[in-house]
């Protein structure tokens, strides 16, 4: 009878140990899930920063293109003024 009681106690202890092991495994799984979630959030922030950087680069390129167009327009205006000056000088040379 005492042996049976001892065996039952050992079995109960083994069951408790198994339950504790399962709880530990569950806790480890939850910690891994939290770590994965934090990693995903970090990747999301990194992706947002990368997109913002790309947008800023695009805006910078657009500004440079706009500056180039404005410089070309300024050059065209200067060439037209030079042509007008040459026509005025030619006109003055013809009538004198």
Q: What is the pLDDT along the chain (96 residues), one digit of tens a residue?
A: 888 999 999 999 999 999 999 999 999 999 999 999 999 999 999 999 999 999 999 999 999 999 999 999 999 999 999 999 999 999 888 887
pTM to 2 decimal places: 0.55
Place of tokens 């530990």: 24
Residue 95 backbone dihedrals phi, psi, to 5 degrees: -85, 0
| Domain definitions of the chain by residue range | 1-96
Give SS3 for 95. Answer: coil
What's the pLDDT score for residue 74?
A: 98
């Amino acid at each position: 009878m005492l042996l049976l009681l001892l065996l039952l106690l050992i079995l109960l202890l083994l069951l408790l140990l198994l339950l504790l092991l399962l709880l530990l495994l569950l806790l480890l799984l939850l910690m891994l899930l939290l770590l994965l979630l934090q990693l995903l959030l970090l990747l999301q922030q990194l992706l947002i920063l990368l997109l913002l950087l790309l947008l800023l680069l695009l805006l910078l390129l657009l500004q440079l293109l706009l500056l180039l167009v404005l410089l070309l327009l300024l050059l065209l205006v200067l060439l037209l003024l030079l042509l007008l000056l040459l026509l005025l000088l030619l006109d003055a040379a013809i009538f004198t």
